[in-house]
Structure 1
Amino acid sequence: MKNRNITLRMAVPDDAKALVAVYAPYVLHTAVTYEYEVPSADEFRQRIAHTLENYPYVVAEVDGEIAGYAYTGRLGVRAAFAWAAETSIYIREDMHGLGIGRKLYDALEKFSQVQHIVTLHSAIAWSDDVDDPWLTRGSPAFHRHLGFTETAHFRHCGYKFDRWYDLLWMEKTLGTLPEKPKPFRPLPVLTKEECSACLDRK
């Protein structure tokens, strides 16, 4: 396979239609997401804009084509959750195996550290059936490879395709846990230089 040119940039609301196209197969054909219906482009546009009010929403392009995206969001609404973020990532079905996921997560970790986020958390669908036709174990393996560890296992909390699914919670602490964390920095207060450095894939 020839070398592919992978670049990262911040998402904009006008990416909604292309990002829905990446997301739709996960909704329709997998239990990776617990959504039943593919959101409209307008709904997705609102989701992107809402995330960008405080957190990074990063798009990966391969040879100029959108190939995946990842973003963070607040883990909980209470004040004490300010230094914890939840991650989400989706890669286009024909773009797996190119290292896109690692590059996207590298960017999320850089943004999180600049924002003074201390821990990243990921909620991952799980089936005890290793041959489940709707769900593989690729996501837990991917997160373990990036240094995430399982911290909780919620049983039978999702129902899709006429079967029950579990939810794994995996976590990664970014650096040394501070005795007193610095205040959270929303995305809009980051400088252009800081954002560019976070998107640098080198």
Structure 2
Amino acid sequence: MPAPLVRDATASDAAACAAIYAPYVTDTAVTFETEPPTVAEMVLRIEGAQRRHAWLVIELDGAIAGYAYAGPFKERAAYRWSCEVSVYLDPDHHGRGAGRLLYEALLTRLAKRGFRMAAAGMTQPNKASGRLHAALGFETVGTFRAVGWKHGAWRDVTWVQRPLAGALPDFGDPPEPV
């Protein structure tokens, strides 16, 4: 069996990423989107993430098994060294280490690009995501209560964060992220 391959996503990966993501949108409260993005929209998301942050896919057994990406934490200039990260896996690949491989590669890439903090929001309950983030050094910073309505219920979102380079809070004057 070939080793897992983590690589930069391209537009040609958009259909696989959209197919992985769609059940999260339609069948879970993990994401607060209510309509799955089209392949064309996924192409735009991949291209947008690649311009400044990153979007990675993992290939297992010759097929895309998941993806992880980063985007702006907030749009205002003072936040430009921080980013928000997410990971999504095909359900057949849960619990096999693919999420960890993706996130490790993503966090390394973001640190090399000059980003200093990664944050992630997790709709509750989500024990598997909580375990993954904790294993990768994310710490809980708070929970927004009843912040989203999906599938007939109000949903809480717990936020976690971790430094990407140096030790918080003494980073000194950072260079501009690439």
TM range (shorter): over 0.9
Specify the alignment match of 1:24 in structure 2: 22
Equivalent-residue separation in structure 2 for 1:123 and 1:97 (angstroms): 20
Which residue of the other structure, out of 66, 69, 72, is the alignment partner of 1:71? 69
Specify the alignment match of 2:157 in structure 1: 167
Relative contact order, CA 8 A, sep 6+: which one is greater?
A: 1
In the alignment, structure 1 residue 57 sits paired with structure 2 residue 55: yes
Specify the alignment match of 2:167 in structure 1: 176
Which residue of the other structure, out of 126, 149, 154, is the alignment partner of 2:144? 154
Amino acid across the alignment from 1:88 = S
Amino acid across the alignment from 1:165 = R
Equivalent-residue separation in structure 1 for 2:52 and 2:110 (angstroms): 11
Amino acid across the alignment from 1:179 = G
1:113, CA displacement in angstroms? 1.2
Which residue of the other structure, out of 84, 91, 95, is the alignment partner of 1:97? 95
Equivalent-residue separation in structure 2 for 1:173 and 1:110 (angstroms): 11
| TM-score, normalised relative to structure 1 | 0.83
Specify the alignment match of 1:194 in structure 2: none
Amino acid across the alignment from 1:70 = A
Equivalent-residue separation in structure 2 for 1:31 and 1:138 (angstroms): 14
1:4, CA displacement in angstroms? 5.7
Greater radius of gyration (CA):
1
Specify the alignment match of 2:104 in structure 1: 106
1:149-180 Cα shifts (integer Å, max 9, x gaps):
11021010111110110111100012324121
Q: Secondary structure at the match of 2:80?
A: helix
Specify the alignment match of 2:132 in structure 1: 142
Number of residue-to-residue matches in the alignment:
175
Q: Say what the alpha-carbon RMSD is for the aligned residues.
A: 1.2
Identity of aligned residues (%): 37
Equivalent-residue separation in structure 2 for 1:64 and 1:146 (angstroms): 26
1:49-98 Cα shifts (integer Å, max 9, x gaps):
11111111000000211000001111111111111010010010001122
Amino acid across the alignment from 1:97 = G
Over 3 Å off, 4+ runs: none
